[in-house]
Chain A
Amino acid sequence: MSAATSGVPSLRARPARHGVQPKHGVKPKHGDKPQKWGNPGVYFIALLFISVSVGPVLYIILGGFRTNSQITVSPAGLPNPWVFSNYIGVLKSVTFWGEFANSVIVGVATTAGVVVLGVMVSFALARYEFRLKGATYSLFAAGLMFPLVVAITPLFIIVKDLGLIDSLTGIIIPQIAFGLPTTVIILTPFLRAIPKDIEEAAAIDGTSRLGFFFRMAIPLALPGVITVAILAFIASWNNYILPLYVLNSQANYTLPLGVQQFSSEYSQDTARVLAFTSLSMMPALIFFGFFQRRIVGGLTGAVKG
Chain B
Amino acid sequence: MSHTLGTAALGRGRRGAPQIGDAVDAASPTPRPRKRRGRGRLRLEIALLTAPAIIVFVGLVIFPVALAAYYGFYQWQGYGPPTDWVGLGNYKIIFTDPAFQQALEHNGLIVVLSLVIQGPLAIGLALLLNQKIRGRALIRVLIFVPYVISEVIVGTGFSLMLQVTGAVNDALHNIGLGFLATDWLANPSIALWTLMGIITWKYIGFAVILMLAGLQSIPDELSEAARIDGASYWQVQRHITLPLLGPTIRIWAFLSIIGSLQLFDLVYIIWGQYISGVAGTSTMATYMALNGRLAGNYGYGSAVAVVMFLISLIVALCYQRFVLHRDLRGAVTQGVS
Contacts and interface: CB of A to CB of B under 8 A. Distances in A.
A287 to B, nearest CB: 8
B264 A241 contact: yes
Given A37-B134, A146-B65, A238-B152, A27 B221 contact: yes
A226 interface: no
A154 B151 contact: no
A132 to B, nearest CB: 6
A137 B7 contact: no
A224 interface: no
Interface string B163-206: 00111111100100000000000000000000000000100111
A150 interface: yes
A9 B246 CA distance: 11
Given A74-B170, A180-B53, A35 B145 contact: no
B209 A300 contact: yes
Interface in A270-286: 270, 273-274, 277, 280-281, 284-285
A133 B125 CA distance: 40
Nearest to B47: A124
B124 to A, nearest CB: 9
B109 interface: no
Interface string A126-159: 1011111110111111010111011111111110
A123 interface: yes
Contacts of B35: none
A3 B147 contact: yes
B156 A137 contact: no
Interface string A6-26: 101111110011001001101
Interface in A172-201: 173-174, 176-178, 180-181, 184-185, 188, 196, 199-200
A123 B52 CA distance: 13
Nearest to A257: B152
A256 B144 contact: no
A139 B57 contact: yes
A241 B268 CA distance: 10
Contacts of A37: 133-134
A157 B313 contact: no
A178 to B, nearest CB: 6
Contact of A240 (B7, B20, B150, B213): B150
Interface in A83-131: 117-118, 120-121, 123-126, 128-131
Contacts of A304: 216-217
Nearest to A113: B56
Given A124-B46, A157-B67, A281-B150, A203 B316 contact: no
B50 A124 contact: yes
A216 interface: no
B285 to A, nearest CB: 5
A49 interface: yes
A228 interface: no
B169 to A, nearest CB: 7
Contact of A284 (B140, B148, B219): B148
A285 B150 contact: no
B121 to A, nearest CB: 9
Nearest to B166: A75
Interface residues of B, number: 123
Contacts of B308: 149-150
A8 B332 contact: yes
A203 B20 contact: yes
A251 interface: no
B331 A296 contact: no
Binding site secondary structure of chain B: helix
Contact of A28 (B145, B166, B224, B301): B224
B144 A295 contact: yes
B201 A128 contact: no
B304 A38 contact: no
A80 to B, nearest CB: 15
A132 B8 contact: yes
A57 B145 contact: yes
Nearest to B64: A154
A138 B62 CA distance: 13
A136 B5 CA distance: 10
A49 B139 CA distance: 9
B5 A132 contact: yes
B85 to A, nearest CB: 17
A260 interface: yes
B78 A42 contact: no
Interface stretch (B93-101, B234-242, B255-263): B255-263
Which one of A2, A149, A257, A274 has the greatest number of beta carbons of chain B within 10 Å?
Answer: A149
B336 A125 contact: yes
Contacts of A13: 213-214, 217, 247
B5 A120 contact: no
Given A60-B157, A178-B60, A234-B148, A128 B9 contact: yes
B303 to A, nearest CB: 9
A58 to B, nearest CB: 10
Contacts of B12: 128-130
A99 B45 CA distance: 40
Nearest to B129: A46
3 closest A-B pairs (Cβ-Cβ)? A131-B8, A238-B150, A177-B60
27 contacts: A9-B251, A13-B213, A35-B132, A42-B128, A75-B166, A77-B170, A124-B45, A125-B50, A129-B9, A131-B4, A133-B336, A138-B335, A139-B57, A146-B65, A147-B258, A151-B64, A151-B309, A152-B288, A154-B68, A156-B298, A157-B78, A180-B56, A240-B150, A259-B152, A277-B156, A292-B141, A300-B209
Given A121-B49, A124-B49, 10 more contacts: A13-B214, A59-B161, A125-B336, A129-B12, A139-B62, A204-B19, A204-B20, A238-B149, A260-B269, A300-B209
